[in-house]
């Protein structure tokens, strides 16, 4: 089964292989080597070659790759590289706008995360989420805001962002995908703002966050790490339900029923994944 722990997914430009070790050392659950937005058109081939060389020299480093989207002239070569390199653990498909694009990428045989970045992508989100090979969803709020004409860092932008999050969550649950990954927080110097945003997405039901700088990783991990008191409560709920067979009872003055028990099991599952990753 695909590892569902993805609290942090850290981008690193493909044309800066000198930064790959630092990204891996950050402790991020996933490192995404970016062939798309952070690489200029004239540097695409050079960046791809740099990734191939690094993978050959460091086969133990399991890297995800954000390829260029299907409308670009670099798509086929990016996809062929991902198919051939065993070091590529998964693929992020930017600007996912049709299930057909997703099916093409899934042919590489790697876990796939489509990134929804347009109104068209939102319109066909259900088809994308149900496509073969998709393990979870994410989205790119910057591209969406440009298309929508939304003013960044305003109350209106926040309302749009929350609606997009809801659609991503709904599609993820309908198709049994892993918890989705929230979009980036662009101001990597504002760690307090990052924490507030991560808490909001966590409380909505997201499983992690895209990161653009190593110093964002520990903040995101802290937010998504279950608190000791949460783990203790969840364990006692599950223990009582399993030992008595009851699905409705009171514990510490709180009413517990089946949805609460299932939520407690999810908390314990996440806690176990964190312990395994830390071991």
CA distances from 25 to 21, 61, 138 (A): 6, 11, 24
Q: What is the pLDDT of residues 41-70, one digit of tens each?
A: 999 999 999 999 999 999 899 999 999 999
pLDDT at 276: 67
Q: What is the pLDDT of residues 132-148, one digit of tens each?
A: 999 999 999 999 999 99
| Residue 38 tokens, joined | 């952070």
pLDDT at 2: 46
> Measuring CA to CA, which residue among 54, 51, 140 is closest to residue 95?
140
What does the domain layout of the chain look like in residue ranges? Answer: 8-224, 228-278
The beta-strand segments (E) located in 160-273 are 181-182, 208-211, 248-251, 254-257
> Measuring CA to CA, which residue among 112, 120, 156 is closest to residue 138?
112
> Measuring CA to CA, which residue among 254, 220, 224 is closest to residue 237?
254
Which residue is listed with tokens 């009582």?
A: 240
Instruction: Please provide residue 123's backbone torsions phi and psi, each rounded to the nearest 5 degrees.
Output: -65, -35
Neighbours of 213 (CB within 10 A): 18
pLDDT at 1: 34
> Measuring CA to CA, which residue among 248, 244, 272 is closest to residue 260?
248
What is the length of the chain? 279
pLDDT at 71: 92
Tell me which residues of the chain have a pLDDT lower than 50.
1-3
Q: Which CATH class is domain 8-224?
A: alpha beta
The answer to whether 35 touches 68, Cβ cutoff 8 Å, is yes
């Amino acid at each position: 089964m695909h590892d569902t722990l993805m609290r942090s997914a850290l981008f690193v430009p493909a044309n800066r292989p000198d930064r790959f070790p630092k990204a891996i050392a950050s402790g991020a659950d996933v490192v995404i080597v970016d062939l798309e937005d952070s690489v200029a058109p004239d540097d695409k081939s050079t960046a791809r070659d740099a990734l191939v060389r690094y993978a050959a020299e460091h086969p133990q480093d399991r890297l995800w790759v954000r390829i260029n989207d299907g409308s670009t002239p670099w798509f086929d070569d990016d996809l062929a590289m991902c198919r051939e390199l065993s070091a590529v653990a998964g693929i992020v498909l930017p600007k996912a706008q049709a299930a057909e694009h997703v099916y093409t990428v899934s042919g590489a045989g790697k876990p796939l995360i489509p990134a929804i970045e347009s109104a068209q992508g939102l319109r066909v989100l259900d088809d994308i989420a149900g496509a073969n090979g998709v393990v979870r969803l994410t989205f790119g709020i910057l591209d969406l805001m440009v298309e929508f004409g939304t003013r960044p860092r305003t109350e209106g932008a926040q309302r749009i962002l929350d609606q997009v999050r809801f659609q991503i969550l709904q599609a993820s649950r309908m198709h049994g995908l892993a918890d989705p990954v929230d979009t980036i927080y662009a101001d990597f110097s504002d760690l307090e703002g990052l924490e507030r945003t991560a808490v909001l997405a966590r409380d909505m039901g997201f499983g992690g966050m895209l990161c653009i700088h190593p110093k964002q990783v520990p903040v995101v991990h802290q937010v998504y790490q279950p608190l000791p008191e949460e783990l203790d409560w969840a364990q006692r709920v599950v223990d009582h339900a399993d030992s008595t067979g009851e699905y409705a009872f009171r514990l510490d003055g709180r009413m517990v029923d089946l949805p609460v028990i299932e939520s407690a099991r999810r908390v314990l599952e996440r806690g176990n994944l964190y312990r395994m990753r830390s071991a």
